[in-house]
A and B are shown apart, each in its own frame.
Chain A
C-alpha cells in the first residue's frame, strides 16, 4: 500500500461547475502528480508538484489548476468543468524514478 488516498472516488457534475479533487499522501514524498486516463491513451500528465507551493504544467494542463499548500495534499481543480474532462484521474507519488498511484477518481461531466 503506497499510502495515497484520493477523494472523492466518484463524482458526477454538470458542465460549467467547478470541481476539486484531492490527493493525500502519508509518505512525505516531495513529488506528486496528477494524471488523467482515457481509452486509447496512456496516462497523461496534467500537473505535477516538486514541493510545497512548487508546481508545473504537464502535457494536458489546459482547463486545470493545482495547489499544494502542505506536503501531504495536492489538489486538482477544474475551474469550469467540460464534457471533455470526463475521465479517470490518478494521483501519484514518487520516492525515486518509479511512481506509485492512488486508487483514482472517476469523474463524469454531463
Chain B
C-alpha cells in the first residue's frame, strides 16, 4: 500500500467553480502535512501547510482529519491559473523526509 494516495483526476471545472479533493495517508504517526502545486514540466512549489485545526489561504482551504487519515484541499472561485497538479505531501516520522502522493490534476476551463 502506498504511503500517500491521491485521486489522479483530472478534475475539469469551469472558472468560478469550487473544486475539492482528498488525499489519504497510511501511517497514523504522520506529523506534518502539506499541499504542493506543480505546473507542467516545472518543480513542485509549496502551496500551504495543513494544520490540525484547518487553515485557509485566500481561496484555498486545507483540512486535516486524523481519525480517518486524510487531508483535503478546497479551491473556491477557481481561476484559469489554478490549473496544475496538486501534490499531497506527508512527513511520516518528523525526520526531515517527506512522502509524496502522485498528484491530482485540476484543469480550469474558461
Query: Which A residues are closer than 8 A to B by beta carbons?
Result: 31, 40-45, 48, 50, 58, 90, 94, 97-104
Q: A33 to B34, alpha carbons, bound, how many Å?
A: 17
The reply to whether A101 and B96 form a contact with Cβ atoms under 8 Å apart is: no
Q: A48 to B98, alpha carbons, bound, how many Å?
A: 11
Partner of B49, one of A40, A43, A98, A101: A98
The reply to whether B43 and A42 form a contact with Cβ atoms under 8 Å apart is: no
Q: Given A42-B87, A50-B96: A90 and B32 within 8 A (CB)? A: no
Q: Given A100-B46, A101-B44, A103-B42: A31 and B102 within 8 A (CB)? A: no
Residues of B close to A42: CB separation below 8 A: 2, 4, 87, 99-103
- Size of B's binding interface in residues, CB under 8 A: 22
Q: A96 to B101, alpha carbons, bound, how many Å?
A: 20
The reply to whether B43 and A104 form a contact with Cβ atoms under 8 Å apart is: yes
B1 in the interface, Cβ–Cβ < 8 Å?
no
Q: A104 to B39, alpha carbons, bound, how many Å?
A: 12
Q: CB-nearest residue of chain B relative to A6? A: B43
The reply to whether B45 and A99 form a contact with Cβ atoms under 8 Å apart is: no
Q: A104 to B46, alpha carbons, bound, how many Å?
A: 15
The reply to whether B97 and A48 form a contact with Cβ atoms under 8 Å apart is: yes
The reply to whether A43 and B44 form a contact with Cβ atoms under 8 Å apart is: yes
B27 in the interface, Cβ–Cβ < 8 Å?
no
Residues of B close to A58: CB separation below 8 A: 97
Q: CB-nearest residue of chain B relative to A35? A: B100
Residues of A close to B97: CB separation below 8 A: 45, 48, 58
Partner of A101, one of B43, B102, B103: B43
The reply to whether A97 and B91 form a contact with Cβ atoms under 8 Å apart is: yes
Q: A44 to B89, alpha carbons, bound, how many Å?
A: 12
Partner of B34, one of A41, A90, A98: A98
The reply to whether A40 and B96 form a contact with Cβ atoms under 8 Å apart is: no
Q: CB-nearest residue of chain B relative to A44? A: B100
